[in-house]
Amino acid sequence: MSAEQDATAGPSPAPRTARRRPRARVRPEALAAARGGAREGLDWLGRRPEAKASLLYRVASVFWRLLVFGLFRIKVRTSGQEHIPSGGGYILVSAAHRGWIDPVLIFHALPLEPRTWFLGSGPSAFTSKWKEGLIRRLGGMLPVWRGGVGIDQHVRSAQAVLDNGAVFVQMPEGTVNGPTGHLGPFRPGAALIAMRTGAPILPFAMAGTEELYLGKRLATRVLPLATIAELVGEDWPGQMPEPNSRAELELAKRATEALERRLGPVVEELFATTVDPPNHPRRFRKRMTWLLLGPGPLEH
């Protein structure tokens, strides 16, 4: 479809959004083998994950703001920023994760420093050598290739980020293919990392990124900081269970369910504010929605 055809296409009915066709699941082992192996996390980065914003990072931040809020005319309503800690050393758990623009919404809500660092899919992000090189130099991402092979390496990455005074970001749904306007199932990784590192969790709700078009409205909200003990409430055993034990996994699941209960109603409330009427123009919807989405989710 040409840009002119995309711009004049009839509006999609509300509240439905651009339907995501199921994408083939990515076999990270095969992709890694095709490139002669793949390093992950801190091993790939080759340096400490910095909390200070470099000149390149500042330039990139200006570029993204001009692109997203200038050229694309995206409008974001953000609330709850009074809950953001004055420094780093915390884990931001963000949902609902529905598109390539989600990290930009986190950058928009948080201060420029301390920097944020994401666990990200290497197969999805490193679609070319130049892109991988730019991401390594720019920072902000710690790649994952193999998927569900254990939490230890991710704990090491998170600990390095937190020890350096930066912010570690997790999107616990692990995919952009969740339900429209609602949370998808959470994985317990973020809670396990919080338990192993002792870091508090800052819940972050965002909505409306299922589809994008010129002038699209999006919404985010920062919720109050919480510890694992506060999340599980009466189920808190008084101390952290032994790593890799059944008790640790059960506690992580309860903390994860508590995060879902906190974020779910907020995401639904925010989503209602992002839905445009059926006759609202949705120019360049297909191109903008799929702009930076790479291969499908990691196969676990």
User: What's residue 299's pLDDT?
Assistant: 35
* Per-residue pLDDT tens digits for 242-258: 999 999 999 999 999 99
* Per-residue pLDDT tens digits for 218-230: 999 999 999 999 9
Contact 277, 237 (CB under 8 A): no
- Under DSSP, is residue 48 helix (H, G, I), strand (E, B) or coil? coil
User: What's residue 37's pLDDT?
Assistant: 58
* Per-residue pLDDT tens digits for 133-164: 999 999 999 988 765 557 888 999 999 999 99
CA-based nearest residue to 23, from 259, 213, 296: 296
Residues 6+ apart with CB under 8 A from 82: 222
5 pLDDT exceeds 60?
no
Q: Looking at the domain that runs over 67-289, which CATH code has it been given?
A: 3.40.1130.10
Contact 248, 242 (CB under 8 A): yes
12 pLDDT exceeds 50?
no
| pTM over the 0.75 mark | yes
User: What's residue 28's pLDDT?
Assistant: 54
Lowest mean pLDDT among 61-65, 130-134, 178-182, 296-300: 296-300
CA angle 258, 261, 265 (to 5 degrees): 160
* Per-residue pLDDT tens digits for 170-217: 999 988 888 999 999 999 999 999 999 999 999 999 999 999 999 999
Token representation of residue 22: 């199921």
Rounded Cα–Cα distance for residues 62 and 94 (Å): 23
User: What's residue 283's pLDDT?
Assistant: 95
Kind plus residue range of the DSSP H or E element containing 78: strand 75-79
296 pLDDT exceeds 80?
no
SS3 content of the chain, % helix, strand, coil (to 5): 40, 15, 45
As a whole-number percent, the residues of the chain with pLDDT over 70 amount to: 84
Burial 171-201 (b: 16+ CB within 10 A, else e): bbbbbbbbebbebbebbbbbbbbbbbbebbb
What average pLDDT does the chain have? 86
